Amino acid sequence: DAGITQSPRYKITETGRQVTLMCHQTWSHSYMFWYRQDLGHGLRLIYYSAAADITDKGEVPDGYVVSRSKTENFPLTLESATRSQTSVYFCASSGRGQETQYFGPGTRLLVL
């Protein structure tokens, strides 16, 4: 049982390019989340989704786009990458009525 996976694990891109980070979970969890982790800021919520086709902004949504056409997938797209988006990105999921979130292994993104 893979649980929650993220791909790619490492990504280097250039300013202005579009980048998509993938997140896949096998638990059929209703809720999925995207966080970024930066030194001095801990983890901050970018976007979350309560179900397929339902998404909402978190604390730091600017420059990011999400979609959720299938329950198990929650891709995060940087439409035009900037250096300030260099970070480690974590995806998480939780079941309906469950407060506990389960995290993926993370994607390290470097924007040059």
Binding site for other proteins (CB under 8 A): 31, 33, 40-45, 48, 50, 58, 90, 92, 94, 99-106
**Nearest-angstrom CA–CA distance, 77 and 23:** 11
Find the shortest distance in angstroms from Cβ 68 to other proteins: 14
Considering beta carbons, is residue 80 or 104 the nearer one to other proteins?
A: 104
Considering beta carbons, is residue 15 or 50 the nearer one to other proteins?
A: 50
Find the shortest distance in angstroms from Cβ 16 to other proteins: 28
Sheet with 64-66, edge to edge strand ranges: 4-7, 19-25, 76-78, 64-66
Find the shortest distance in angstroms from Cβ 47 to other proteins: 11
Is the bond into 8 cis (omega within 30 degrees of 0)? yes
Considering beta carbons, is residue 69 or 100 the nearer one to other proteins?
A: 100
Find the shortest distance in angstroms from Cβ 42 to other proteins: 4
**Nearest-angstrom CA–CA distance, 3 and 77:** 22
Considering beta carbons, is residue 12 or 50 the nearer one to other proteins?
A: 50
**Nearest-angstrom CA–CA distance, 85 and 88:** 9
**Nearest-angstrom CA–CA distance, 27 and 59:** 26
